[in-house]
Structure 1
Amino acid sequence: MSLERPLPEPGDTVVLMPANALVLGGDLGGTSTRIVIADHDGKVVGRGAAAGGNPTSHPASAAANFGQAIHQALAGLGDGPLDPTMVKAAVIGAAGGSALSKPEVRAQFDAAWTGAGLVCAPDFIGDLEVAFASGTPASDGVVLIAGTGAAAGLVRDHRLIRTADGHGWLLGDDGSGFWLGREALRSLLRALDLGEPIGALGEAVVAAVLPDRDPDAVAQREGYDVLRDDLIRTVNSRPPVLLAELARTVVSSYEQDDPTARALVKRAADLLTETVRRVRTTSDNGPLVLAGSVAGDSSPVGRLLRQNLRDHFPGDVLTARDGVGGATWLALGALDPALATRANHTRLVS
């Protein structure tokens, strides 16, 4: 979506938007679906929220949640319902948005859209673009999301033109929450194989994966083989992505100065820095926006990552803010580039 509109040529039909035109922004995540409707001045006039809207995992329920959040937003904020036909531009960020390229999945989301009475065509974009727009009104720069997974993107004119990683837990997502959890478990299994002390991180992993395990058995060499087999069996019986839950265990052990946890945190920060390096060169001076729990200010990975980035790249390192606000601001720019102001950006993402 370009925020630069070409001047009309002689003979072109110029469509003037009504003064009371509205825009809609959406953020479809794995755990929540959020919709915001705003007017020309960036004033929010409607909000809606529902459960997860990731179209990859459960498209039918995600589409239903999408529709629920839209209907809630169209109910307005106390001044009566909004006219859905007055929504003239919409930008919706979707985690797992590539699933919308499947006709059967897109049809379910389209049905939720038109079922709410909306008539404009929604622009579905990736969560990287939304995260970037939530962190800065700049048109060019780099964005990194590091949560359960990890991916970086190069943004030009508010559009994603190149990505790095985001390959999923099996093939990539280096430095992510999943990576931290998997590596914590792998380090524990290596210690068990060698009969070495498992340390504070290993004990915490055992407690998280096998909460009913007798702590004394962990310290007994003769119980190591049984413990190892129980860990492997338990982890393989669950969805792999649940390993990301162990990221909190790594962080807690890091704060207790466990050497294995500290090494994993440093390695995660280095891997995420390398992911950024794949899309950003040292000559790029646009902002770099960080999003996701692993890259957050409160995460030790995020703190080391920020230091790495400041040491290797010029430009500001910023933190992503309200994703649905970023999408709504992009929708304002789609309606009229003149509306994509810094003031409106601040109003929507704060």
Structure 2
Amino acid sequence: MSDVLVLGGDLGGTSTRIVVADSEGNVIGRGAAAGGNPTSHPASAAANFGQALHAALTGLDPAAIKSAVVGMAGGVALQRPEVAAQFDAAWTGAGLTVPPGYIGDLEVAFASGTPEPDGTVLIAGTGSNVGLVRNHQLQRTAGGHGWLLGDDGSGFWLGREAVRSVLESLDLREPLGLLGQAVVQAILPGRDEDLVAHREGYDALRDLLVMTVNSRPPVMLAELAPAVIAAYHQQDETARALVKRAAELLTETAARLKVTSDSGPMVLAGSVAGESSPVGQLIREHFAGDVRTAKDGVGGATWLALAALDLATTENHTRLVEH
């Protein structure tokens, strides 16, 4: 099996990453591009996927790839023939002949956090989702319905709620706090609170914020999540309330799967659920037991590709996800 290569992919809302590894889990090729989520980036996801594939396969024989696992957020979009055709073209255009093995980002995140076969995974990044995993396969999910119908507690949710808090302050003719000022600066660079110094300014700023936010892709609201976290650390009351509520919403979503201490490890993934995030810290306090942090998602996908060939070990799991 020494000549066998495997490919792993992690297609998310902000980036597309591809890894090629040998049978021992040594990485021999990498590729990256912008977001590959076909739901949030319908116009560019397939092209970004193809770009990352070509970069990872540079100098390698695509025919040597004998197993591939590609984790994808927003993969439901592949049920649309026109989207599937674009991704098929990107795959075959890179010279690959093995099936791509698309799976959900939940399975990839779980595999990146632990080599154990059973457990629970919670993702909170741009979006949010929770899944129950058995024998490395997803059995049930809760949440994950997208920004319009769900994603409670996610980066998108934090950003949307932050903007709503600013609009409420403007409606009430109240001064903007630290979070409000940060939101205005992020959406309308160069603006300051002078614009709301009188009644007409409140209305003008409110209308400009609403118009600007609605003119951009909705998913871009997730870009405001870091501003919420920063304001939280500065003791802004609104930011602290949003962080607390985000953690509650995420744990409530996990509770739908009736997770217990016997369910196996809980793997947390995504920037909002990260170890340095106050949302992630509150989630860890809530579960308290065997809580692990997802490492490299594309490494987890690559390890699952090895598992499909019965080549997965604890050693190559560590090599792939903790490099």
With structure 2 as the length reference, what TM-score do the two structures score? 0.92
Alignment check: 8 A CA contact 1:60 1:108 kept? no
Given residue 326 of structure 1, which amino acid in structure 2 is its aligned partner?
G
State the shift of 1:19 in Å: 4.3
Cα-Cα RMSD: 2.0
- The reply to whether residue 318 of structure 1 matches residue 301 of structure 2 is no
CA deviations 1:76-95 (Å, max 9, x no partner) are xxxxx333222211111112
Larger Rg: 1
- Checking the alignment, whether the CA contact within 8 Å between 2:40 and 2:219 is kept in structure 1 is no
Q: Look up the match of 1:70.
A: 53
Question: Match of 1:238?
Answer: 216
1:184 aligns with 2:162: yes
**1:168 counterpart residue number:** 146
Summarize the Cα distance change of 1:206–1:222 in structure 2 as closer, same or farther, 3 Å threshold: same
Identical positions, percent: 73
Task: State the shift of 1:131 in Å.
Answer: 0.7
**1:304 to partner: Cα distance:** 1.4
Checking the alignment, whether the CA contact within 8 Å between 1:270 and 1:308 is kept in structure 2 is no
How has the CA–CA distance of structure 1 residues 114 and 233 changed in structure 2, closer, same or farther, with 3 Å as cutoff? closer
> Does the alignment pair 1:334 with 2:311?
no
Q: How many residues are paired up?
A: 322
1:279 Cα deviation from its structure 2 partner: 1.9
Question: Gapped runs of 5+ residues in structure 1?
Answer: 1-17, 76-80
SS of the counterpart of 2:18? strand
- Structure 1 residue 216: deviation in Å? 2.6
Aligned partner of 1:236: which letter? Answer: N
Mark the CA change 1:238 to 1:107 in structure 2 (over 3 Å): closer, same or farther. closer
| Partner of residue 306 from structure 1, selected from 284, 287, 299 | 284
1:47 maps to a residue whose letter is R
Distance 1:258 1:213 in 2: 20
Where do 1:207-286 residues align within 5 Å? 207-221=185-199, 223-286=201-264
Residue 49 in 1 paired to residue 32 in 2?
Answer: yes
In the TM superposition, residue 165 of structure 1 has moved relative to its aligned partner by 1.2
Q: 1:283 to 1:216 in 2, by over 3 A?
A: same
Partner of 1:348: 320
Aligned pair in 2 of structure 1 residues 64, 227: CA closer, same or farther (>3 Å)?
A: closer
| Structure-2 change in CA distance of 1:205 and 1:108 (3 Å) | closer
- TM-score by structure 1 length? 0.85
How far off its partner does 1:25 sit? 1.0
Equivalent position amino acid for 1:166 in 2: G
C-alpha separation in 1, matches of 2:219 and 2:101: 29
The residue matched to 1:153 in structure 2 has which SS? strand
Q: 1:229 to 1:108 in 2, by over 3 A?
A: closer
After superposition, residues 2-21 of structure 1 pair within 5 angstroms as 18-21=1-4
Q: Quick check: 1:54–1:97 contact (8 Å CA) kept in 2?
A: yes
Q: How far apart are residue 36 of structure 1 and its match?
A: 1.5
Structure 2 equivalent of residue 201 of structure 1: 179
1:8 maps to none
**d(CA) in 2 for partners of 1:107, 1:227:** 44
Q: Which moved more, 1:31-40 or 1:285-294?
A: 31-40
Conserved? CA contact 2:184–2:192, under 8 Å: no
